[in-house]
Structure 1
Amino acid sequence: MVVSNIISGYQKTQKLSVAPFRQMQSAFDRDCLFTEKIYIIGYSFGDKHINEMIRVAITHNPNVKIIIIDPSYKDEKAKKAILEIWSDEIITPQVENMKFGEFLKQQIK
């Protein structure tokens, strides 16, 4: 078995309760609570456990900055993100409509 931090397919919740995935989720949760910035790259906002952790991070770390990097980010995706994650919060994510490689090149300058 190849261990990856990416869990795809069905039964994600069950898979997250087994090592090493449980430790990876715990590390992700901890990082979200104490970071200054959360970069969301090409994410569809379809995983409730990730959406919930972003919500918790915003609630407990009001100074966190959310940066969404996605060249195909559309209003419908923005609406879904706002409704599921930021509906009762004051944080508005910064959206970069570009490919991740382009974003990295800008950061290096």
Structure 2
Amino acid sequence: MPLERILPIALLLGSNVFMTFAWYGHLKYKSAPLAVAIFASWGIAFFEYCLMVPANRMGSAVYSAPQLKGMQEVITLLVFAGFSTWYLGQPLKWNHWAGFAMIVVAAWLIFLD
């Protein structure tokens, strides 16, 4: 697979790691004030944007916008599955996996001609 196809995927993966921490990382620190959680999340999200914007710019040369969005959703689910289990200690149940699988099928359909 050529670099112009792989690099956007790698950047999307990195951006989703940051965004998952921005959106859900504060759940481990529920005693922290809400304002602190919000500002910390904004700070983390900055780095997500530093990866997401180039991923979409570069990726649009080889993928359509719907394909980029479909990939992003699947990557988000994979990152979240690991994050939920590893960081939050909340492993996914069968129904979570089944729901995620349906989203993966939906994203796959986007790539069909």
Q: TM-score, normalised by structure 2?
A: 0.29
Compare CA radii of gyration and give the structure with the larger one: 2
Q: TM-score, normalised by structure 1?
A: 0.29
Name the structure, 1 or 2, with higher relative contact order (CA <8 Å, separation 6+): 2
Instruction: Report which of the two has the higher share of helix.
Output: 2
